[in-house]
Amino acid sequence: MLVWGLGIEARLLHLQVYRYDDLVDRAARQQSRSLETHPKRGEILDREGRILAYSVDADTVMSVPMEVTDPVATARQLCEVLECNASQRDRIQTRLGEDRLFAYIQRRVSVDAARRIRELDLEGIGLIKESRRFYPNKELAAHLLGYVGTDNHGLNGLESAYDEQVRGRPGRVLVQTDAHNRAFSRVESPPTAGVSLELTIDKFIQHIAERELRATVREHNAAGGSVIVMDPFTGEILALANEPTFNPNAFSASTSESRRNRATQDVYEPGSTFKIVTASAALEERVFEPGQMIDVSPGVIRFGSHRIEDTRNYGELSFADVIVKSSNVGASKIGVALGPERLGRYVTRFGFGQTASRDFAGQSRGIVHPWAQLRDSALASVSIGYNISVTPLQMAAAMSAVANGGQLIEPRLVRAQVSGDQRLEVAPHVIRRVISTETASTLTRMLEDVVSHGTARGAQIEGYTAAGKTGTAEKIINGAYAPKGHNVASFAGFAPSTRPALTVLVVIDDVAQFGGAVAAPTFQRIAEASLRHLGVPPNVGALSPIVMASDQTADQNHDAGARVRPVSTRALAPATPSRGATVTGLMPDLLGLSERSALGVVTQIGLTTRTSGRGFVSKQTPEPGAPVSPGQQVTLQLDRTPTLATRVVR
């Protein structure tokens, strides 16, 4: 008995003193494990607050394999619920039979599947909460939004570029087993949701761009294409579409070709759209004047064995007509006269050979050769958009610089970052001035002629003046030019040309026709629908703006406590006031109207607007009922909470 008692004491001493720490650690590892839980990602919204991407909670099936007594039977019961195939069942069975403390069975299962698994009450099987990313509009803006992997990390697009901000901070969950070896969880620290992104994208314009691009690609049996719509004064991208596209809800079922953002990752030789850079440099450096004549006969120019041709012999053309008729011979002579140093300086100023925006991951810089090494033949090629490669985004930014009066503005996708009540606005970023306002104005008049009677007649928009340039370049395949009939057709332009609201770039890959026949009509359809949607008033054949009710009517309304309302001008004949005469009226009440509705009223009665904030009109200057005259600027303060006001509808 003494020996037996001493043995017991020795064993207890060994377990409780010498092996205490080791055994406690083993027990903790067997009974519990602390896991990191993924936070809920912030939402992604368009410029009007419409949801483009959000996260929902979903149950994930997990296991504690060491607590599973019958892996075969457990795997069979799970697969009856999860509808596994044979290989998936074998994989689950293997996981359940491993000597591990934790294993995922299936991530983010349906609500019904989670309920049925709870009812099974299987040993070593439990459920934990995770968030699942959902894109309600499917393919809409897929290349901009990107997609999220199973570990809640952004893998492409904005989901990747702003992953750190949108992902949030993870929490921790303690997974334990009870006395009956059943797994359960307890939250140690909750995750913190990420910030939401408010984009510059307009969901409606994005839909227009995707619809028209898809129709053009199918009509011409093209390999693909890109469309970019942006505000030339702020750099805000209103739409960016690529074809082919994919569904980010099921991105693994798509190909890498369809997931590639052609507008920022692909490069192409821009062809004649690049002549805006050549012309800008020549005008800015005063090497040529708009009316200066250039001999382009006999329609061909040779640099050794290198030959550049026009579609026909134009004889003599003015500098302006070289751009309007898109003469390759004339543009080549302009480029050679500029020389490599001056032309190269403007290529760099316009942003080529550099990344265009911080909002796009993996974008290309394009291909720009060292200018000091270029001979006349290579310089002539660059002047007409060959021997240089650009991205569609770079080309859209360059055309916007002409549209806004000469400033290169960084294209941007994110308008604001929102976290709770905090809102961090992203301001426009002017990179540099590339040309003077005078040069931009002169070039705009030339580009208007390109649309009105040049190579881009298909880009004409009823009610609006448009300016732009067509481009056609032979496609490069495996480092060599493809046979005739394989072109990259493009058009870059803006409208209305007098005060541009939109810059639109269309690039169609691998077509037999030219840019004027393929890309210009697509520009016309996209620009026209977008201008109508934004409420931009026509600048061709428009009625003279007439403001409101008369002073007498306004006084009567004021006495009755009613609000002054604008009178529609649609049915009125155009007024023809004498020189120096002014037409005055009273300012309508815009309080409580949405931004779009207020802009529609203001533009209808011939006033201009300056807005700040987002949402509904909370303050306006001039005040309701104040005298106003056509062309006067109205300042609107917007707030997300609508102002409650009584309105009289007659």
If DSSP states are collapsed to H, E and C, what string results for 484-528?
Answer: CCCEEEEEEEEECCCCCCEEEEEEEEEECCCHHHHHHHHHHHHHH
What is the spatial distance between Cα 251 and Cα 249, in angstroms, rounded to a whole number? Answer: 6
What is the spatial distance between Cα 228 and Cα 207, in angstroms, rounded to a whole number? Answer: 12
What is the spatial distance between Cα 198 and Cα 104, in angstroms, rounded to a whole number? Answer: 34
The count of residues in the chain is: 650
32 in Cβ contact with 66 (< 8 Å): no
- Angle between the N-to-C axes of helices 328-338 and 340-349, in degrees from 0 to 180, rounded to the nearest 10: 100
- Angle between the N-to-C axes of helices 328-338 and 376-383, in degrees from 0 to 180, rounded to the nearest 10: 120
246 in Cβ contact with 139 (< 8 Å): yes
Catalytic residues: 272
What is the spatial distance between Cα 126 and Cα 59, in angstroms, rounded to a whole number? Answer: 10
Residues 525, 356, 490, CA angle at the centre, nearest 5°? 35
Terminal-to-terminal C-alpha distance of the chain: 109
Helix (H) or strand (E) holding 551: helix 551-559
The DSSP secondary structure of 124-179, one letter per residue, reads TEEEEEEEEEE-TTTTTTHHHH-EE-TTS-EEEHHHHHTHHHHH-B-EEEEEEE-T
What is the spatial distance between Cα 109 and Cα 429, in angstroms, rounded to a whole number? Answer: 44
What is the spatial distance between Cα 25 and Cα 12, in angstroms, rounded to a whole number? Answer: 18
What stretches of 185-339 show up as alpha helix (H) in DSSP?
A: 203-219, 256-259, 262-265, 275-284, 319-324, 328-338
89 in Cβ contact with 76 (< 8 Å): yes
- Angle between the N-to-C axes of helices 437-453 and 275-284, in degrees from 0 to 180, rounded to the nearest 10: 140
Amino acid sitting at position 334: I
Based on its alpha-carbon atoms, the radius of gyration of the chain, rounded to whole angstroms, reads 33
Enumerate the β-bridge partners of residue 229.
Answer: 239, 504
Helix %, strand %, coil % of the chain (to 5):
35, 25, 40
Enumerate the β-bridge partners of residue 300.
Answer: 309
Residue 409, SS3?
Answer: strand
Q: How buried is 623 (Cβ within 10 angstroms: 0-12 exposed, 13-18 middle, 19+ buried)?
A: exposed
492 in Cβ contact with 503 (< 8 Å): yes
505 in Cβ contact with 520 (< 8 Å): no
